[in-house]
Structure 1
Amino acid sequence: MNDLMHSGSGGGTLPTMSTREIAELTSKKHQHVMRDAGAMFKALDMDQEGYVHFWTDPQNGQRYREFLLPKDLTLTLVAGYDIQLRHRIVKRLEEIEARVSDPMVALNDAAALRGFLLTYSEKVIALEHKVEELAPKAEALDLLETSEGSVGPRLAAKMLNMPEKKFTSWLQTNRWAFRQNGIGPLQAYVDKRDRGYLEHRPHTYRDQVRGEDRTIAQMMITPKGLKRLAERLSGGRA
């Protein structure tokens, strides 16, 4: 069973029925119930995204999409089904409402408790995935906060938790930096220098072939640029 609850506009808890359970009760394929629900939302000119829920299959660990529908939309959805199927849905909704109104009934109902526990487990798994996704970004931001000056592309890539080649390729693809005639050291685009994201600093090295010291302009990424790159790489706009 998968009777779930969501908060209503008045702050109370409203019973909902998932499209998965509707499929079980009506012996229909879930993909067909989802299709019917999508058509219903379109006909009612409603945004279906507000009813989307993702559940995790305990057998394969994969996440799948479903809708959680309040009573009115559940009844609207099954209005076109035959009377026996509608009756099953109505009886099930009555059971769900009874559990909502009497918490002791829910505590003594193994099916209801199983549904609540499954929902809780799904939320925990989703949060764990989110933490894993955000951990590298959080680590990078911690490093950025401790950065006191401009850094070169290699260190910046490390701070942003990216492979150096992928990072320098990103800089060129997104018009932060370029190589003169496709070769040589990275150089900053003027607009990124004007915004204070990048700068050039003189760098002196020993030319072993000529046996003399040479000075070139080395591109550096400022703390402001590091912060902007962290925002860009996490999904922000330029």
Structure 2
Amino acid sequence: MSGRPPSDLLAASAPIVMPTREIAELTEKRHDNVKRDTKAMLIELGLDPLKFEGIYLDSLNRQQTEYLLDRELTDTLLTGYSAVLRRKVIARWHQLEKDAAPPSLPNFADPAAAARAWADEVEAKRTAEGKVHQLKHQVADQAPAVAGFNLIADASGSMCFRDAAANLKMRQCDLMDYLVSKKWIYERIGSEGYKAYGDRLQALDLRYNSFPYESKTTGEPKTRRQVRITNKGLTKLAAMITQDAVTKRMAAAPGQHQQHLPLPGDDPPG
């Protein structure tokens, strides 16, 4: 019987950081403003902002910069924000730290503990396979209801991306990325905000709302168009996201437990 734990349980965890993009989303601020505040803070602390820079791809596959902050620097940045916004970011940090906590290792020198760990691994695999099977049938069972509701959904009502993300139980940035990947919306260089694809407008999944505003530079009245998701579109998105999640889990299921705990009697790995 092997005395070694699986190598994946021994892998060193990467340091936990929070990107300024997520801070901007949680505090409902523009990302460029959060980056500006972060850079000023780092310089004031005598730190090189370049050492905290990260690169990500936006919805148009362009490289953009952000800052990656640890817990202490995030707390320092938030001292200039309101208590409500600070609380939202701190709650997110608690979740990040909880998710990153390493699993406790069984005592592999103890045959009884190793046997229990192996049994737990087998049970976890069976549970995961059962959930995938259950989700597959759940989607099939719900398909007629979703299709029927899609026919009677009121396309006259609509909501902004933030409210739609809340209804779908996902982050706004993840919803935006999903809509871009599914060719519902896109960004046009030189234009402000997202644009809707014509077929989504024709299908009544998306609509434009126009609202007036006053130019900060000239004071002239102007009109801005905002893409909104209709009730019909939200219903369709919910079905799409559920189906994609099931497909992804089914594809990942065969390889989820490829590295098992050693069975009693197995030869030690070379």
Higher relative contact order (CA 8 A, sep 6+): 2
Task: Name the TM-score, length of structure 1 as normaliser.
Answer: 0.39
